[in-house]
C-alpha cells in the first residue's frame, strides 16, 4: 500500500500514473475538490481518496508500506505564512515521526528553493550546520529547509527516522498536469498559451549587471525525469538521504522560450517586462543541480535535455484535449 500526498497536484498526479502502471496499490491523499480526473490515465484504479485531515487516522489502522509526501503550499508568494508553516513544516514533521514509529518508508519533496541565491552552492549536503546556513529567499523555501533540518536532526541526534527516508530537492519542474497552478504554471506552458493566443511572451528584466534580460539561469527539469527518480527510490529501498533532482545544467529563460517557439515552428516574439517589487528580493538568478551524489549511488538514467523535454511536452499539449 502506497500513499501519495498532494496526489491531485502536478508531480503527485504524474507519480500516481507511473505507480499504477507498475501495478502498485495507490491511495491519493489530497482535498477531494482539487482532484481532476483527466490528470489520471487510470483514475478508477486509485484505491481511495484520503482527505489530509484524515491521513494520520488512516495510517493508524492500515498497513502502509510507503508514503510519498508531495503535498505542500508551494506558492512562493503565498499570503499567509503561518498557514504555510502549519501545512509545510508541522504536518511534515508529524508525518516523519509516524513513519519512524510504524516502519513506513518516506520519500518527500524538498526544494531547490532552499538554496536561496546559491552563494553556498547547490550541494545536496546533509550536514546540519550547512542546512542552517542556507538562506532561502521566500517563505516556501524556508519551510522546506526547516523540514530537512528537523528530520535530519532527529535522525542524527536520536537515530529516529523511517526505515527509508529520502528528501528530493526538485529544481524548476515543468510538464503535463500543471494547469491548476494558474499563475504558478511553468514558463513553458505560459509561452505555449501565449503563442496559441497570438500574444507576446513576457519575461522579467534582469536587475543584475551580470545577467542580460532573459539570461537569468535555472536548472529546468522535465517532470518525467522527476517521476523516474521517485520510482527509482521505490525500487532501491536501502538508499536514504537528501538528493538533488535536476538536469545538472543551467539554461537561460531565453533558451527555454526559444525551445518552445522552435517546437511550434513560430518566430520568436518576446518582451521583457518589469519585475514586481515584491519579487525582486526573492528572485533566484542561477540554479544548477549537482547530481554527483545521486550518480555515485547508481542512478544511471539519462535526463531529458531542455530541447528534448520541451519538445516532448509541447507534442503532448498539441495532441491531447487536456485544457481544463
Length of the chain: 324
Percentage of the chain lying above the pLDDT 70 cut: 97
Q: What is the DSSP string of 143-185?
A: HHHHHHHHHHHHHHHH----SSEEEEEE-EEE-SS-GGGGGGS
pLDDT digits (tens, 9 = 90+) for 114-158: 999 999 999 999 999 999 999 999 999 999 999 999 999 999 999
Stretch 28-48: mean pLDDT = 97
Provide the whole-model pTM: 0.94
pLDDT digits (tens, 9 = 90+) for 188-226: 999 999 999 999 999 999 999 999 999 999 999 999 999
pLDDT of residue 278: 86
pLDDT band at 323 (very low <50, low <70, confident <90, very high): very low
Task: Measure the CA–CA gap between 70 and 16, rounded to whole angstroms.
Answer: 11
Residue 195 backbone phi and psi in degrees, to 5: -65, -45
pLDDT of residue 78: 60
Residue that is written with C-alpha cell 518508508 in the block = 105
Above 50 in pLDDT, residue 322?
no
pLDDT of residue 258: 97
DSSP state, residue 69: E
Q: Annotated catalytic sites, by residue?
A: 140, 181
Above 50 in pLDDT, residue 313?
yes
Task: Measure the CA–CA gap between 253 and 231, rounded to whole angstroms.
Answer: 29
Above 90 in pLDDT, residue 270?
yes
Return the C-alpha cell found at 226.
Answer: 522527476
Is residue 38 packed enough to be buried (19+ CB in 10 Å), middle (13-18) or exposed (0-12)?
A: middle
Residue that is written with C-alpha cell 529547509 in the block = 145
What is the sign of the dihedral through the CA atoms of 291, 297, 111 and 324? positive
Task: Measure the CA–CA gap between 307 and 302, rounded to whole angstroms.
Answer: 14
- Could you tell me which residues come within 8 angstroms of residue 65 by beta carbon, excluding any fewer than 6 positions away? 1, 2, 104, 105
Contacts 24+ apart (CB under 8 A), 118-121: 118/284, 118/285, 118/286, 118/287, 118/288, 121/290
Is residue 175 packed enough to be buried (19+ CB in 10 Å), middle (13-18) or exposed (0-12)?
A: buried
The helix, strand and coil proportions of the chain, stated in percent and rounded to the nearest 5, come to: 45, 15, 40
Task: Measure the CA–CA gap between 218 and 95, rounded to whole angstroms.
Answer: 31
Q: What is the dihedral of CA 90, 94, 97, 101, to 10 degrees?
A: 180
Residue that is written with C-alpha cell 487516522 in the block = 57
pLDDT of residue 76: 61
Amino acid at each position: 500500500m502506497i500513499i501519495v500526498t498532494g496526489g491531485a497536484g502536478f508531480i503527485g498526479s504524474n507519480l500516481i500514473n507511473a505507480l499504477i502502471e507498475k501495478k502498485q496499490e495507490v491511495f491519493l491523499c489530497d482535498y477531494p475538490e482539487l482532484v481532476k480526473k483527466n490528470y489520471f490515465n487510470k483514475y478508477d484504479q486509485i484505491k481511495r481518496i484520503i482527505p489530509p485531515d484524515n491521513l494520520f487516522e488512516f495510517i493508524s489502522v492500515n498497513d502502509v508500506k510507503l508514503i510519498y509526501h508531495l503535498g505542500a503550499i508551494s506558492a512562493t508568494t503565498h499570503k499567509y505564512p503561518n498557514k504555510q508553516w502549519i501545512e509545510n513544516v508541522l504536518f511534515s514533521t508529524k508525518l516523519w515521526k509516524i513513519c519512524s514509529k510504524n516502519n513506513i518508508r518516506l520519500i518527500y519533496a524538498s526544494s531547490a528553493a532552499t538554496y536561496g541565491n546559491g552563494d553556498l552552492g547547490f550541494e545536496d549536503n546533509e550536514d546540519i550546520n550547512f542546512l542552517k546556513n542556507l538562506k532561502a529567499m521566500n517563505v516556501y523555501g524556508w519551510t522546506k529547509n526547516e523540514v530537512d533540518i528537523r528530520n535530519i536532526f532527529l535522525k542524527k541526534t536520536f537515530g529516529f527516522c523511517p526505515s527509508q527516508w529520502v528528501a528530493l530537492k526538485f529544481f524548476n519542474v515543468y510538464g503535463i498536469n500543471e494547469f491548476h497552478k494558474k499563475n504558478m504554471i511553468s514558463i513553458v506552458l505560459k509561452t505555449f498559451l501565449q503563442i496559441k493566443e497570438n500574444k507576446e511572451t513576457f519575461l522579467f528584466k534582469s536587475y543584475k549587471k551580470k545577467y542580460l534580460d532573459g539570461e537569468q539561469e535555472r536548472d529546468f527539469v522535465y517532470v518525467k525525469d522527476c517521476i523516474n527518480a521517485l520510482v527509482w527510490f521505490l525500487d532501491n529501498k536501502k538508499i536514504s538521504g537528501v538528493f538533488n533532482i535536476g538536469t545538472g545544467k543551467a539554461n537561460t529563460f531565453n533558451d527555454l522560450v526559444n525551445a518552445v517557439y522552435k517546437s511550434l515552428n513560430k518566430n520568436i516574439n518576446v518582451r521583457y517586462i518589469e519585475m514586481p517589487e515584491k519579487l525582486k528580493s526573492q528572485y533566484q538568478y542561477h540554479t544548477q543541480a549537482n547530481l554527483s551524489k545521486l550518480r555515485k549511488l547508481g542512478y544511471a538514467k539519462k535526463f531529458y535535455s531542455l530541447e528534448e523535454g520541451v519538445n516532448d511536452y509541447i507534442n503532448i499539449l498539441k495532441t491531447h484535449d487536456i485544457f481544463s
